[in-house]
Structure 1
Amino acid sequence: MATNEAEMQEKLGGAPQSKQALRLWLRLLTCTTLIENRIRNQLRAEFDTTLPRFDVLAALDRYPDGLTMGELSRCLMVSNGNVTGVVNRLVTDGLVSRTASPADRRTHFVRLTDKGQEDFRRMAEVHHGWVESMFSGIDAADADQLYNELERLKRSVFAFDEKSETS
């Protein structure tokens, strides 16, 4: 393993402190990808569903009165086109209802059906267990510290975005 670490250091510019941000980004990306792949596989195996479907159900669960398709897209940070296909399948499966806005027929509200709420709650409980299991190697104090550091990183990214927009 030491050889692999040394090779990685050489590829990233030599000294352990050089390119720290890049190393951190790659570590975050690796962890995210590993967790996401595990969850995708578990959702498929246990519930015959996909992560995008789960994410839509989770977003709608947080908004019992429903969301417009645009609000749902922003909430999930994906394009309207991506959401439309997933929502169409969830409507067909009876998990989500879609109704036109009385004020603007071009705008549609989507919300969980009773079946959607029931299915999501069952999946969410199991999903919670998977996440707990994957994070079980991190004690509470370290988890709190990591959470706080990631919050600082998020603020830094938002500040960068704001600075880029004004430049």
Structure 2
Amino acid sequence: MDIEARAHSEHPEALRLWLRMLTCSQLVEKQVRTQLRERFDTTLPRFDLMAQLERAPDGLKMNELSRRMMVTGGNVTGITDQLVAEGLVERIDVEGDRRAYRVRLTPKGRKLFNEMARQHEDWIVDAFSGLNEKEIGTLYKLLGKVKDHATQPRQETAP
């Protein structure tokens, strides 16, 4: 019996919905990871780092990259080292701070990322192709309500 089936018999609808969302997210992510590996010989974390740099043409400091990607500095350093070795990103000194540097895409990295991003968009569109435009819009709005509610500060209730 799969996890969704167990949730159906044992738990409220909200939990079933959460498990369905998680399952869908994991399935789509697995497809994207597979496609990135097969088509571009790369990983999702590398794609994510390059996506952050694409949004910041002047580059980002390592701590900014870590924060944006929600991973440790060590993870970012390892990925950055690989991408520098491949000529896809470069390190630039930060004026006035000899210990810091910014990381930015090279022209070669920007070209490759743009190609990967176009493919990534196609994969995501395909993942949702079982829904029509109205259903996609409705789901987007409903998940927006969940997001808004989840980001609201919670009041602790006294026992």
TM range (shorter): 0.7 to 0.9
Structure 1 match to 2:8 = 9
- The aligned counterpart of 2:154 is 163
For residues 23 and 5 of structure 2, the distance between their equivalents in structure 1, rounded to whole angstroms, comes to 18
Q: Does 1:83 align with 2:76?
A: yes
Partners of 2:147 and 2:47 in 1: CA distance: 24
Of 120, 127, 152, the residue aligned with 1:127 is: 120
Aligned length: 155
* Residue correspondence of structure 1 range 15-94 to structure 2 within 5 A: 18=12, 20-94=13-87
Report the Cα distance in structure 1 between the residues aligned to 2:46 and 2:4, rounded to whole angstroms: 38
TM-score (norm 2): 0.88
Aligned-residue Cα RMSD (Å) equals: 2.2
Contact 2:90 2:105 in 1 (8 A): yes
Structure 1: gaps spanning 5 or more residues: none
Moved more, 44-53 or 98-107: 98-107
SS in 2 for 1:81: helix
TM-fit CA distance, 1:8: 4.2
CA distance in 1, matches of 2:109, 2:27: 27
Structure 1-normalised TM-score?
0.84
Distance in 2, matches of 1:120 and 1:74, equals 21
Aligned sequence identity (%): 48
Q: Which residue of 2 aligns with 1:115?
A: 108
CA contact (8 A) 2:90 2:106 kept: yes
